[in-house]
Amino acid sequence: MKLIYTNENRYLVHNIQNIVENSGITIMLKNEFAAGAAGDLVPHETWLELWVLNDNDYDKAIAAIDSSFSSVNETEWTCRNCNEVNNASFDFCWNCQHSSP
């Protein structure tokens, strides 16, 4: 088993868990119930941890995580209605709420 991700924010850990599991990799979640011991343990030792069960899946898991946060292929788009430039992550124009092309 190898550690692939840990963070104090449980939502981020669960997001990474979904990304890795959707890549077909079996993972294990550790410290799921350790938050209650935060006063007795060093705080970072209570953070959720994601571990790959098969060491051979480690590189594939890291690649899945990296590619999900990569925005290399994303380009801005210009709204056909108001000519406002929008970030690629927007499905609707932030200015006039018309849908992306």
Which residues, at least 6 apart from 25, have a Cβ–Cβ distance to it below 8 Å?
52, 54, 57, 60, 61, 64
Which two tokens mark 29?
């979640």
43-72 pLDDT, tens digit each: 677 788 999 999 999 999 999 988 887 756
The domains located in the chain, with CATH, are 2-68 (3.30.70)
Output phi, psi for 3, to 5 deg: -75, 130
Q: What is the pLDDT of residue 40?
A: 65
Split at pLDDT 50, 70, 90, the class of 39 is low
pTM (2 d.p.): 0.62
